[in-house]
């Protein structure tokens, strides 16, 4: 018996392999099921790994770029950016690190804001609302040559 045989097939005094986890205790295989099992099956071949990386990369990049375009406008811009990073993090380690950094930063900022008084919180909301209003106003004015202030004045004069 070689040394490696004992390592590969460890047995206790009864000659049975030791129970090491839930899968062994229940008599189930250690293979994953659901989406993780499907992804493991795709990753099992070289072509599958490359195809999965390309598909995940394209979907995640589209979400991140779309989210970054939406950030200045009212809506779920940052949520879409984080969703895109979560998609990219399934295949790319750098995206996982960036996502974790974003989570830590957001958590630190919300913790900082929660420690402040209500005046600071109201000020943050007012600055965010003023910024969103300015972005929408100038976006409409520059994109569609639509001046909301002039239109509102026309409606009030009637």
Domain boundaries, the chain: 20-93
Q: pLDDT by residue (tens digit) across 107-118?
A: 999 999 999 999
Instruction: Give pTM, 2 decimals.
Output: 0.62
Backbone phi and psi for residue 91, each to the nearest 5 degrees, phi listed first: -125, -20
Two structure tokens written together for 141? 């004015």
Q: Is 137 exposed, middle or buried (0-12, 13-18, 19+ CB in 10 A)?
A: middle
Question: Which residues lie closer than 8 Å to 136 by C-beta, 6 or more apart?
Answer: 73, 74
Residue 9 pLDDT greater than 60, yes or no: no
Average pLDDT, the chain: 83
What share of the chain has pLDDT > 90, as a percent? Answer: 51
Q: pLDDT by residue (tens digit) across 66-108?
A: 999 888 777 898 999 999 999 999 999 999 999 999 999 999 9
The larger pLDDT score, comparing residue 65 to residue 1, is at 65
Q: What is the DSSP letter of 76?
A: S
The least confident of 5-9, 13-17, 41-45, 130-134 is: 5-9
Q: pLDDT by residue (tens digit) across 49-61?
A: 999 999 999 999 9
The larger pLDDT score, comparing residue 103 to residue 3, is at 103
What are the b/e assignments for 69-84, b being 16+ CB within 10 Å?
ebeeeeeebeebbbbb
> What integer pLDDT is reported at residue 13 of this predicted model?
54
**Are the CB atoms for 62 and 81 separated by under 8 Å?**
no
Residue 7 pLDDT greater than 80, yes or no: no
What distance separates the 2 farthest-apart alpha carbons in the chain?
100
> What integer pLDDT is reported at residue 12 of this predicted model?
52
The least confident of 11-25, 72-86, 128-142 is: 11-25
């Amino acid at each position: 018996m070689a040394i490696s045989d004992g390592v590969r097939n460890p047995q206790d005094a009864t000659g049975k392999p030791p129970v090491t986890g839930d899968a062994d205790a229940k008599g189930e295989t250690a293979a994953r099921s659901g989406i993780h099992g499907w992804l493991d099956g795709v990753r099992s071949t070289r072509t599958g790994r490359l195809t999965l990386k390309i598909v995940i990369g394209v979907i995640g990049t589209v979400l991140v770029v779309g989210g970054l375009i939406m950030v200045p406008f009212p809506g779920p811009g940052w949520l879409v950016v984080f969703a895109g990073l979560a998609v990219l993090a399934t295949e790319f380690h750098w995206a996982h690190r960036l996502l974790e950094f974003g989570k830590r930063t957001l958590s630190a900022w919300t913790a900082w804001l929660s420690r402040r008084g209500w005046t600071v919180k109201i000020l943050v909301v007012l600055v965010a609302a003023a910024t969103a209003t300015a972005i929408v106003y100038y976006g409409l004015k520059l994109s569609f040559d639509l001046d909301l202030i002039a239109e509102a004045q026309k409606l009030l004069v009637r």
